[in-house]
Amino acid sequence: MLQVISELQAAGVNDIKREEPMAPHTYWKIGGPADVFVVPQTKQQLLETIRIVREHNLPWFVLGKGSNLLVTDKGIRGVVIKLGEALNYARFEDNLIYAGAAFSLIKLSVMAGRQGLAGLEFAGGIPGSIGGAVYMNAGAHGSEMSRILKQAEVLFDNGELVTMQKEEFQYAYRTSILHTKRGIVTEAVLELQAGDRAELATTQAAHKERRLRTQPLQLAVAGSVFRNPENRFAAKLIEEAGLKGMRVGGAEISTLHANFIVNTGQATAEDVLTLIEKIKAIVGEKYKVELVPEVMVVGER
């Protein structure tokens, strides 16, 4: 790893840490150390980072804002790449938004509403980055990224920087081609529609009020744990199975929203994973429905 770090520094990448705990970088506040933690500050530094990591055949993982993510207790082998300030921007041109991958999805939703642009209201409560939202086709309130994405720039594992049109992402429910073809979203272009500022503000306020009333957002949670099965709601299935409040170690199924698992203070990744398996087993036996986790699990087991 010392050789890799030396080469990164020679390429101008200087924000590098060894054995960096991942817990402070995730919404769940859980996770062991990453071997190497790199924050490229420019797109060129990101390109150099991927080139060097590939030359050394090291595994890599790109980190957004840390929502929808569970890092294992043993941590992540290889290199974790967190996108720096150069990709934390948003630019409005008529009904188009050019947004860097590191920009907050919630913040962009609010900005779009204030600009009188409709289509991004659904994202006002999704605590992730633009890059993560494009990667997983994030959605809520009956809409999702695939409805508003025009195109996105992606840095692939082979070092190619490619502009992809929406159709090329092969979007489906909470998934895209990037789940099988490794790449890092660097910029997204969103296409919205003209809307009424007052109506948009009312809609966003209603969504926010509902989230605060029904989700344990003041606690350490990563977001929804399971995808909704077809024509069903995961939270309703878990609640009807009587599982609200079930605990494993420091991990607890929220008593407010059954599709959230709360870190009560000392939860480990194994606590969360064990609880997830218990939920899947009980719901599967009771309702003959297989719950599929929406949370990404990363790291050494």
User: pLDDT by residue (tens digit) across 175-233?
Assistant: 999 999 999 999 999 999 999 999 999 998 888 888 888 899 889 999 999 999 999 99
- Residue 298, domain member (yes or no): no
The single residue of 153, 224, 252, 254 carrying the catalytic annotation is 224
Do 248 and 260 fall into the same domain? yes
The single residue of 48, 144, 187, 294 carrying the catalytic annotation is 294
Whole-model pTM: value is 0.92
The residue behind tokens 């899947």 is 280
300 a catalytic residue? no
For residue 32, what are the CA distances in angstroms to 10, 27, 59, 299?
28, 14, 16, 8
Find the mean pLDDT for residues 129-156: 94
Do 96 and 168 fall into the same domain? yes
Do 222 and 166 fall into the same domain? no
Identify the burial level of 194 via C-beta atoms within 10 angstroms of its C-beta, where 0-12 means exposed, 13-18 middle and 19 or more buried: exposed
The single residue of 129, 174, 252, 254 carrying the catalytic annotation is 174
Structural domain span for residue 119:
88-199
Do 238 and 251 fall into the same domain? yes
104 a catalytic residue? no
Q: What is the mean pLDDT of the chain?
A: 95
- Residue 61, domain member (yes or no): yes
CATH code assigned at 178: 3.30.465.10
Number of domains in the chain: 3
Last residue of a domain, one of 65, 85, 105: 85
- Residue 245, domain member (yes or no): yes
Residue 71 confidence (pLDDT) above 90: yes
- Residue 301, domain member (yes or no): no
Do 193 and 280 fall into the same domain? no
Last residue of a domain, one of 153, 170, 199: 199
Do 160 and 244 fall into the same domain? no
Nearest to 112 by CA among 128, 126, 97, 122: 97
Last residue of a domain, one of 42, 67, 85: 85
Do 285 and 236 fall into the same domain? yes
Do 103 and 143 fall into the same domain? yes
224 a catalytic residue? yes
- Residue 155, domain member (yes or no): yes
- Residue 127, domain member (yes or no): yes
Condensed to tens digits (0 to 9), the pLDDT of residues 101-114 reads 999 999 999 999 99
Find the mean pLDDT for residues 247-259: 97
Residue 34 confidence (pLDDT) above 90: yes
Give me the amino acid identity at 64: G
Nearest to 52 by CA among 101, 5, 111: 5
- Residue 184, domain member (yes or no): yes
Find the mean pLDDT for residues 59-81: 96
